[in-house]
Structure 1
């Protein structure tokens, strides 16, 4: 039986957006945000070049008939959707990989704020530098967890009829992954292993899916996905404190 509260989970991202405006947290929100903007700009530039090449290639394959050549607008729409999806998911993966040391520290500051501790950033930079190897390895673990399941869902998705179910499974899986992705930051601060985190989130699966749903939707919206990452980190920390706080043990 699924446990947790789906509707309570939905509220954590909104709380995250409120938390990123707190004075003690703003610096470590602004820095990843600047990184995200630069990263988004580079991805947009390279994918725009790819987009232009795809349109040119598609038009070159068509016979030189006037009515077919006039369908270039359709290719712009179809490839535009593909590029947007590539930009959204590619951005999320890279932003989390590059910004993970900042997000781990942001989660720590957020937890102190939520639990009434003094929020101090005196040793912030030294701690971020020390945590870089561990943070990067943690991101690799998440990617290794994601890839085989994504490939399996992709294979299911090409089977007629079954692909209707696969579309729903894809969306649910993305919600689950967004929850895993961001709750992992406060969990890692408590040295909770990634397998143990999956079990903890499984114990409150409805809450986890409720939190992951708005994050997954926001990650697909250009510009909004720039600010949703730090908000999701803060919201995930609120989730950790309230849903899993009593079980914060090293596993």
Structure 2
């Protein structure tokens, strides 16, 4: 029997957007946001330079006809579409790799804000820096969980007729992954392993899908996906407190 409440899950991202405006949480929203903007700004610039060179090379191969030479705007339009799609689908993975140490602490502060209880972790900047390798490895574990399942869905999508079902499965799977991705931050603060988290969230799967669905949709919208990551972290902390926080969790 599938447990949880899909509609309750839908509300956690909205709560996350409200929480990121709290004075005590803003710093750990702003820092990774600035890093991500700078990184993607540089990436966009270098990709534009590379694409500009590719357009010039392609145009040099075309006959010297005025109407053909004027097609460069079409290439730039194509570039814009490709870049938007790359940023939309790749942003969440890269943003989480960069911001994971900050997002773990943001989840901790959010949980403290919601419960009034301390999480007995070292919250110094030195500890945040020391946590970078462990946080990155945790992100790698999530990517390794994602890739084989995504590959399986991709193969299913190549089968005629069955690929209609694959589209629905992709949507459900991405919603599930978004919920896992962000609820993992508060779970990690309590030293709950990723396999244990998956089992725990399986017990409230409908709530998880309700939370992950709007996150997955927002992640595909350029600019909005810059803000949705910290909001999803805060929303995931609320999810953890109300849906998945084990009664026997011991703070360490």
TM over 0.5: yes
Partner residue of 1:27?
Answer: 27
Superposed counterparts of 1:147-226, under 5 Å: 147-226=147-226
Partner residue of 1:130?
Answer: 130
TM-score, normalisation: structure 1 = 0.87
TM-fit CA distance, 1:247:
4.0
Superposed counterparts of 1:221-236, under 5 Å: 221-236=221-236
RMSD, aligned α-carbons: 2.8
Distance (Å, rounded) in 2 between the aligned partners of 1:90 and 1:7: 28
Distance (Å, rounded) in 2 between the aligned partners of 1:49 and 1:209: 40
In the alignment, is the contact (CA less than 8 A) between 2:184 and 2:197 conserved in 1? yes
Contiguous gaps of at least 5 residues in structure 2: none
TM-fit CA distance, 1:49:
4.3
Distance (Å, rounded) in 1 between the aligned partners of 2:209 and 2:44: 29
In the alignment, is the contact (CA less than 8 A) between 2:215 and 2:232 conserved in 1? yes
Distance (Å, rounded) in 2 between the aligned partners of 1:213 and 1:27: 27
Partner residue of 2:237?
Answer: 237
Change in Cα spacing, 1:60 to 1:230, as seen in structure 2 (3 Å) is: same
What secondary structure, in the 3-state scheme, does the structure 1 residue paired with 2:245 have? Answer: helix
TM-fit CA distance, 1:86:
1.5
In the alignment, is the contact (CA less than 8 A) between 1:43 and 1:91 conserved in 2? no
Contiguous gaps of at least 5 residues in structure 1: none
In the alignment, is the contact (CA less than 8 A) between 2:105 and 2:123 conserved in 1? no
Which string of whole-angstrom CA distances, capped at 9 and with x for unpartnered residues, describes residues 61-119 of structure 1?
98999988887777665654443221122221111011100000111111111001369
